[in-house]
Amino acid sequence: MSLSVHAAQGPQTIAYQRLPPSPPATVKDAHDLSSESGSDSGFDSPADEHVVTTETQASPRLYPLPPRSRQNKVLAEDLKTPDRHVERDARLIRLTGVHPFNVEAPLSDLYDEGFLTTKDLHYVRNHGAVPQVEDSECLDWEFTVEGMVENPITMTVRDLLRDYEQLTYPITLVCAGNRRKEQNVVRKTKGFSWGPAGLSTALWTGVSLGQLLMRSVPRRGARYVCFEGADKLPNGCYGTSIKLNWAMDPNRGILVAHKMNGEALHPDHGKPVRMVIPGQIGGRSVKWLKRIIVSAAPSDNWYHIYDNRVLPTMVSPEASANLPDVWKDERYAIYDLNTNSVICYPAHDEHVSLIDGPEMYKFRGYAYAGGGKRVARLEATLDQGKTWILANITYPEDQYRLAPEDETLYGGRVDLSWREACFCWCFWDLDIPLAQLQGAKDVMIRAMDDSMMAQPRDMYWSVLGMMNNPWFRVVIHKEAHSLRFEHPTQPTIVPGGGWMERAKKEGGDLTNGFWGERLSAEEEVTAIDEAPKEICMVDPQTTRQITIDELRSHDGEAEPWFVVNNQVYDGTKFLEGHPGGAASIIGAAGQDVTEEFLAIHSENAKAMMPTYHIGALSAEAMALLASSSSDLLPASTTPRPVFLQAKAWSRAILARKKRVSSDTKIFTFTLDHAAQTIGLPVGQHLLLRLVDNNEPIIRAYTPLSEGTAAGALDVLVKIYYDSPQGRGGRMTQALDGLPLGAAVEFKGPVGKFEYRGRGLCAIGGHTRTVRRFVMVCAGSGITPIFQVLRAVMQDRADETRCVVLDGNRVEEDILCRAELDQMAAENRDRCRLLHMLSRPEASWTGLKGRMDRSLFEKEVGPPSDERDTIVLVCGPEGLERTVRSGFGSLGWQDEDLVFF
């Protein structure tokens, strides 16, 4: 039978089960077991498949059971991702866009579900696509116990169910990034913005990890246990490790789990088997388990080293990329959770009436501690820490300690009675008179664990934004007839902000020790981050609905159509005029290029779009395009001979960074295999895409590598750092911040100019033969110039002459100087190279000053009647303006000037 029992001071009325006496130990069919537990096992097992359950006579006890889960479906936004097989709850808040799936529940919904969280609202942290495992394959799923063991084991889930004792524990999992949004508001970290709902509690059923390790017998000298999953990620599978003595300790409750709340694991939660490690950060609980490796050293997995660490606070995101030893320092690795607490009610933006409201308001929330510690107290302050009030705390986890010996739940023994360790969240509440709230600016809370470690007053900012646990503060706003409550932040895509974002926009200093409040001595600061003006990109007179067949019939060079924000544009009229060349539009034909277009086009370009707007996708076309679209080239067992693809992004791995000046580096990326060529024509460029703080950044670069080079790709990048004068380059700083082994994506080629050799050029699709190039560049604008110059000079039969005017500020800024000087020295009859500095030192003997009309007149002169010269230009906008006006005044025509 079941009954409803009110849990004193808990978040809501919680459903409990009164268990009937159980029969003696029996061997039952797997289908019988699943129906007994009240859920489908999810394993399509044969009729003769058996599992052993140990059940004894039991007196009735009370403890929480999970709420009823929903019947979900595959959501429309997942149809165009590799997760198109995964059913999900639409209430979950996506923190990293559509894919990969990183979500938390709305805080109120999570709290209202009570002590146990359904699979529907349980937080999810996925680094990539969810492995697809059919129900019929689950029992045969294999994983290993290997490494420094006497008896390596290869076993299936069937073996796990049949040969080992099953246990069921309530366990709270918490992402180490919980509450990271607060750190990101203070200063951007390298992680995405979790709100305060990056945690959940479930009943997990599985086998003690210690059982498997005892059977495999670790060898002398073994100190760690590593775990690896089946997910396929840019840097290999996800993997991590814990200490061996923890893994062997039954008091730590570590499980190899195959059920969650009595159901087979959901795909997002590790179907069919995963690690569940209580008391430690969620990042240690590897999903889709494939390997358990006993070792003498911590895991060398990329994600173990470059994720889930708290680096010293003085390490910036930029500096962290060049500190491999710091990342590998196990002192900075996170294992046990720290103590944390959150106010759930009042909710963000909740109003309480002062006219007909209650005299007392019940504040409620959650708290947790790590490593098996118990939250010993929860305190609240209404005067910013001068005085404190003690709150009530309830521990639903303790109800399970009252379960009779050998009692089973969902096929697993509930054996918490002997264990003092706490591995679940608890709930607190505190009644506060409205009269007191009217006189307060805010309410803040802090928790303390049983080792007397309390939450700190101030934030410890770190480069990954992990383990954020300062006092949780809710601001009180006095309105006409009510009080309004404001939380610190809201998760990434939820509108409404929070007091931290508001204070920052108003010019407050969130690090001043007063939670961003303006002090009297502080000077006024203009609000920042004002919303940009919206640019209309559609023709309001156009009402045409375009079908998927119409769009796909325009996916080639003839009349290329493309999609931005579900609106369709005809790029035919702009094929010749597009700055990136016809290839840019042709490469987008028939595709949804919203992300790419918005990331790289200027406001002027967006304002031009109504001219090319021809209609909107029909609803059916939207669904079909979403279900079939994938902008990342899928993995293939057949090696591709050419890396770059015009209509799909291809991944490459960052292998090396070489500093060539104080602000410039060469980034080397490895391709799919050593024989794979880059595939970039001379004079064209490629697009590079990476994600920074959950937002894609796309920029065009011309690599140093020759297009026919194989196995690796070198890109020269000038890094624009933040300075007191203003913000630096977002892409260049994000690229510089990437650790070695990280993946980025490339697409191409694009560009309107191509050098085909021996004077033959293609410009906007039209061929032209030249006898001379005038090359004008500055700074990192040398790269496309360098490509063309090298192609000319390497071919001894190429009689094309080149004049190179390379302008920079100081001598250190001259990039590729050794290579340029060597080419000029070896080809004096065909190459004239001039370096010019605007801020030279006294020792400089070359040209001085800025490039201007007088320099162009002296070194180049007017165009010849034969029009046998093209001027190639690459540099900042100021240089482009100087070239246009200077060469224009000398009689050069626009068609003779090519700007990269």
Measured torsion, CA atoms of residues 542, 543, 549, 554, in degrees rounded to the nearest 10: 0
- Measured distance CA(94)–CA(493) in Å, rounded: 7
Instruction: Indicate the SS3 state at residue 675.
Output: coil
Quick count: other Cβ atoms within 10 Å of Cβ 469?
22
Residue at 336: amino acid letter: D
E-strand ranges in 643-723 read 650-661, 664-670, 685-692, 695-701, 712-718
E-strand ranges in 795-867 read 801-808, 831-837, 847-848
In contact, 700 and 686? CB cutoff 8 Å: yes
- Measured distance CA(102)–CA(691) in Å, rounded: 14
DSSP track, 86-101: --B-TTSEESSSSSS-
- Measured distance CA(317)–CA(463) in Å, rounded: 5
Distances (CA, A) of 416 to 54, 367, 376, 402, 742: 16, 20, 19, 8, 42
Specify whether 529 is catalytic: no
Which member of 235, 308, 338, 468 is catalytic? 308
- Measured distance CA(176)–CA(892) in Å, rounded: 61
Report residue 395 as tokens: 């521990």
In contact, 65 and 15? CB cutoff 8 Å: yes
- Measured distance CA(19)–CA(663) in Å, rounded: 69
In contact, 703 and 715? CB cutoff 8 Å: yes
Report residue 729 as tokens: 């380059």
In contact, 580 and 750? CB cutoff 8 Å: yes
Which member of 138, 175, 237, 874 is catalytic? 175
DSSP-assigned letter for residue 70: P
In contact, 850 and 838? CB cutoff 8 Å: yes
226 is in an annotated binding site: no
Which member of 120, 231, 307, 442 is catalytic? 307
The neighbouring-strand residues paired with 104 are: 93
Residue 319 — left, alpha, or beta (φ > 0 → left; ψ -120 to 50 → alpha)?
A: alpha
Report residue 846 as tokens: 């070359």
Specify whether 268 is catalytic: no
Specify whether 32 is catalytic: no
Quick count: other Cβ atoms within 10 Å of Cβ 4?
8
- Measured distance CA(62)–CA(42) in Å, rounded: 27
Q: Residues forming the annotated binding site for Mo-molybdopterin? A: 175
Q: Which residues are catalytic?
A: 175, 307-308
